[in-house]
Chain A
């Protein structure tokens, strides 16, 4: 019954931090290091929320969002992008691909939690 979140980022330290923060708040978290991995994991599970970096090898965040939106289970699931100032145009791209919203890096754990809470409760 707990909220399941999929965290996608090619940086291990970011994944660690996000997982640690979210698990500490009682969420179930799974990780993926690139878009393809994330897609594979997503297909096998039902996540309540997906957080994904944009720049990743193999399949980047934008492509991941498009793919997820094509899956029936993930049509309406909130998907948040992790963007940075210098790739703000990615926000638009992401939105067009179907992203729900974004979180701007760098963020601190408290900000992350506040945003997540707003979206999934």
Chain B
């Protein structure tokens, strides 16, 4: 019966990746000068586990590779090897290599033998160079038993005589002579003679000790080694002699009736109570999306409870289907039931959404290593702060936000934080800070990347923008508008393209990717002080909090998150700019007015702004005012795709089905902002009250 152990491989891979993450983060945290024993032990154990598991599951390449790491770490934890910064760097690199190996094996891809052998050489060099005089492996098991091993004869005898004298305590090791006899019996024909002469008088008798010795005759074609194997475990706990019985009677050598205590050669290592290694539940770090998700039992229980309540509500409502007539009290009960149904449905929705949510720590955890490596490479001193790692977001959104986040962090390190010397000159501390923060706001998650670096240089940005024709000379842009330019394609003010993030393909792709997730990204910056990039993402891709508005008899949905305010129009605040259309003066700002009926080609209810409302919305630093006839309610809507059966429509992010079964279209504010820029101004001769600005 052969057992297929490949079914456990998945678990092995998962726990190995987790182990590698632990190794990495502990190596990063390690204080090289005063390395904590516990930390070294934790790292060692992780490597040890991977080595053991890979051996068991037949991944010999991994086992061999990990063996060297394990040896190094073993020496470190024993104090036989110093923990040095170069050693830590080498180990960090080997963690990467090992990760690559395991990933390749799991995906059935080829191993990168070049980097593996390069890394192995590095590890071996380290191992051999720093030989503190003791052999690398402690494979020297002390075999200081006093049992005589007579050299084997050329001929395998057909019988053996074994004299077996357990030491007094042997039983306390859980070894049972009877069990050993049984084992010997499987090798050949056995006869046992016991010698009870040493059993003390009853009063002195210790029942847990062994006082009996035995003479065993074993007949059969058996090798000495086979017999020795039976005694392998008890070598130090007994005396035994194995002697071949040749045809002539030869007197069995008398067992050395030595009651010498077996040498307890190992000094008892004081076992310090190890504190539990933090169980960092690390998720898969591969760039691809994984098709499974780990869910905490609590969330599942919550879901089960909610469904249970839903069932109760359903059966309660079901009763009404049986009624012949409806009385007033029936109607009230029905109303109550429906209210309950609404609560249950909402809870169910929230429970299910939460199942797909995971803490953002899964994505954040790659950054300590990234910051460490990158700052080292650039010669900058950077401290990474992270907060809000527990903030949860949808799994799919999280997988897709990883790359944009990496780009933004790299950008902060590369272009934001200055070199240490420059920072000192400017009165800043040598160590720059990059801060990753995440929190919930409304129905969204906000992720901020803040650095205390040089900030954005408005002049340089404008210069570059003028050169690329994005902005005409003489245009006046606010700071925000100028800063927002960095998200335009092909934009990079890095004087030389650094291979890290200066190629100018970055920011616009970042924005595009974030937009495709239904989110936004903005930047706030102050020259000389630093910048903050804010990413706003919906908590789930399919649900939206919306404000219903009516335009020309049609109902549209404006995402609540983008609404700044809704105002009644004051005609004296409306201005008309030639070639640009209308703007509304709201406090200090001039906001372009978008007549939705015109943009969408609908018959308007009224063309007079006074008759309707302006809904001021914002997307990516730009505000526009949507002219609508009326505001209806606010509700949560499920986003249905237009593209499934139709196609993408500019200015719309999808559709939804309202309670009455009709379809309402959801506005895409970012799209409307672009449309507004490019579309022709409406015929505005109707407006009479506005000032015509020059």
A sample of 4 more A-B contacts (CB under 8 A), given A86-B71, A89-B141, is A12-B15, A87-B74, A93-B269, A96-B268
Check: A60 CB closer than 8 A to any chain B CB: yes
Question: Which residues of B are in contact with A by a Cβ distance under 8 Å?
Answer: 2-3, 5, 7-9, 11-12, 14-15, 42, 44-45, 48-49, 51-53, 55-57, 63, 67, 70-71, 74, 137-142, 171-176, 179, 182-183, 208, 232-233, 236-237, 264-266, 268-269, 271, 273-277
Q: Are B12's CB and A13's CB within 8 A?
A: yes
- B residues within 8 A CB of A40? none
The count of residues in chain A whose C-beta lies closer than 8 Å to any C-beta of chain B is: 52
Please report the C-alpha to C-alpha distance between residue A92 and residue B42 in the assembled complex, in whole angstroms.
22
A window 49-87: CB within 8 A of B: 53, 55-60, 62-63, 69, 75-79, 82, 84-87
Q: Are B52's CB and A84's CB within 8 A?
A: yes
- A residues within 8 A CB of B271? 59-60, 62-63
Q: Are A91's CB and B264's CB within 8 A?
A: no
Check: A44 CB closer than 8 A to any chain B CB: no
Check: A42 CB closer than 8 A to any chain B CB: no
Contacts A59-B274, A98-B174 given: A88-B139 contact, CB under 8 Å? yes
Tell me, rounded to whole Å, the shortest Cβ–Cβ distance linking B377 to chain A: 34
Q: Are A118's CB and B183's CB within 8 A?
A: yes
**Residue among A16, A17, A55, A63 making CB contact with B45, cutoff 8 Å:** A55
Please report the C-alpha to C-alpha distance between residue A109 and residue B8 in the assembled complex, in whole angstroms.
12
Check: A14 CB closer than 8 A to any chain B CB: yes
**Residue among A57, A82, A95 making CB contact with B236, cutoff 8 Å:** A95
- B residues within 8 A CB of A34? 276
- B residues within 8 A CB of A60? 271, 274
9 pairs of residues in contact across A and B, judged by CB atoms under 8 Å: A11-B15, A16-B8, A17-B8, A20-B7, A55-B44, A55-B49, A76-B171, A77-B174, A93-B269
A window 5-22: CB within 8 A of B: 10-14, 16-17, 20-21
Contacts A88-B141, A119-B179 given: A106-B55 contact, CB under 8 Å? yes
Tell me, rounded to whole Å, the shortest Cβ–Cβ distance linking B229 to chain A: 10
Contacts A69-B172, A119-B179 given: A10-B45 contact, CB under 8 Å? yes
**Residue among A14, A53, A57, A86 making CB contact with B74, cutoff 8 Å:** A86
Q: Are A13's CB and B175's CB within 8 A?
A: no
Q: CB-defined interface of A103-115 with B at 8 Å, one 1/0 digit per residue?
A: 0011111100000
Q: Are B172's CB and A14's CB within 8 A?
A: no
Q: Are B9's CB and A13's CB within 8 A?
A: yes
Please report the C-alpha to C-alpha distance between residue A79 and residue B175 in the assembled complex, in whole angstroms.
9
- Chain A CB within 10 Å, residue with most, of B5, B140, B275: B5
Please report the C-alpha to C-alpha distance between residue A86 and residue B49 in the assembled complex, in whole angstroms.
12
- B residues within 8 A CB of A84? 48, 51-52, 55
Q: Are B5's CB and A78's CB within 8 A?
A: no
Tell me, rounded to whole Å, the shortest Cβ–Cβ distance linking B380 to chain A: 36
Tell me, rounded to whole Å, the shortest Cβ–Cβ distance linking B89 to chain A: 23
Query: Which 3 A-B pairs have CB atoms at the shortest separation, nearest pair first?
Result: A106-B55, A101-B233, A100-B174
- B residues within 8 A CB of A108? 5, 56
Contacts A17-B8, A57-B42 given: A10-B49 contact, CB under 8 Å? yes
Contacts A14-B52, A93-B269 given: A86-B8 contact, CB under 8 Å? no
Tell me, rounded to whole Å, the shortest Cβ–Cβ distance linking A18 to chain B: 10
- A residues within 8 A CB of B12? 11, 13
- A residues within 8 A CB of B11? 12-13, 16
**Residue among B7, B179, B273 making CB contact with A59, cutoff 8 Å:** B273
Tell me, rounded to whole Å, the shortest Cβ–Cβ distance linking B71 to chain A: 6
**Residue among B3, B137, B138, B266 making CB contact with A96, cutoff 8 Å:** B266
- B residues within 8 A CB of A101? 175, 232-233
Please report the C-alpha to C-alpha distance between residue A17 and residue B15 in the assembled complex, in whole angstroms.
14
Tell me, rounded to whole Å, the shortest Cβ–Cβ distance linking B124 to chain A: 15
Tell me, rounded to whole Å, the shortest Cβ–Cβ distance linking A4 to chain B: 15
**Residue among A55, A95, A98 making CB contact with B48, cutoff 8 Å:** A55
- B residues within 8 A CB of A79? 174
Please report the C-alpha to C-alpha distance between residue A91 and residue B179 in the assembled complex, in whole angstroms.
21
Please report the C-alpha to C-alpha distance between residue A69 and residue B141 in the assembled complex, in whole angstroms.
23
**Residue among B15, B48, B172, B274 making CB contact with A75, cutoff 8 Å:** B172
Please report the C-alpha to C-alpha distance between residue A110 and residue B63 in the assembled complex, in whole angstroms.
20
Residue of B nearest to A11 (CB): B49
Please report the C-alpha to C-alpha distance between residue A84 and residue B45 in the assembled complex, in whole angstroms.
12
Please report the C-alpha to C-alpha distance between residue A87 and residue B47 in the assembled complex, in whole angstroms.
13
Check: A38 CB closer than 8 A to any chain B CB: no
- B residues within 8 A CB of A99? 173-174
- Chain A CB within 10 Å, residue with most, of B15, B271, B273: B271
- B residues within 8 A CB of A88? 138-141
Tell me, rounded to whole Å, the shortest Cβ–Cβ distance linking A116 to chain B: 12
Q: Are B52's CB and A20's CB within 8 A?
A: no
Please report the C-alpha to C-alpha distance between residue A34 and residue B274 in the assembled complex, in whole angstroms.
11
Tell me, rounded to whole Å, the shortest Cβ–Cβ distance linking B70 to chain A: 6
Q: Are B3's CB and A58's CB within 8 A?
A: no
- B residues within 8 A CB of A98? 172-174
**Residue among B8, B139, B142, B273 making CB contact with A13, cutoff 8 Å:** B8
Please report the C-alpha to C-alpha distance between residue A21 and residue B1 in the assembled complex, in whole angstroms.
11
**Residue among B49, B52, B276 making CB contact with A106, cutoff 8 Å:** B52
**Residue among B56, B141, B265, B274 making CB contact with A57, cutoff 8 Å:** B274
Residue of B nearest to A54 (CB): B48
Tell me, rounded to whole Å, the shortest Cβ–Cβ distance linking A100 to chain B: 4
Tell me, rounded to whole Å, the shortest Cβ–Cβ distance linking B640 to chain A: 42
Q: Are A106's CB and B15's CB within 8 A?
A: no
Q: Are A13's CB and B264's CB within 8 A?
A: no
Please report the C-alpha to C-alpha distance between residue A1 and residue B183 in the assembled complex, in whole angstroms.
23
Tell me, rounded to whole Å, the shortest Cβ–Cβ distance linking A63 to chain B: 5
Tell me, rounded to whole Å, the shortest Cβ–Cβ distance linking A43 to chain B: 17
Please report the C-alpha to C-alpha distance between residue A22 and residue B63 in the assembled complex, in whole angstroms.
25
Please report the C-alpha to C-alpha distance between residue A96 and residue B233 in the assembled complex, in whole angstroms.
12
- A residues within 8 A CB of B5? 17, 20-21, 108-109
- B residues within 8 A CB of A59? 271, 273-274
- A residues within 8 A CB of B44? 55
Tell me, rounded to whole Å, the shortest Cβ–Cβ distance linking A109 to chain B: 4
- Chain A CB within 10 Å, residue with most, of B8, B51, B232, B236: B8
- B residues within 8 A CB of A53? 52
- B residues within 8 A CB of A56? 45
- B residues within 8 A CB of A93? 266, 269
- Chain B CB within 10 Å, residue with most, of A76, A79, A82: A76
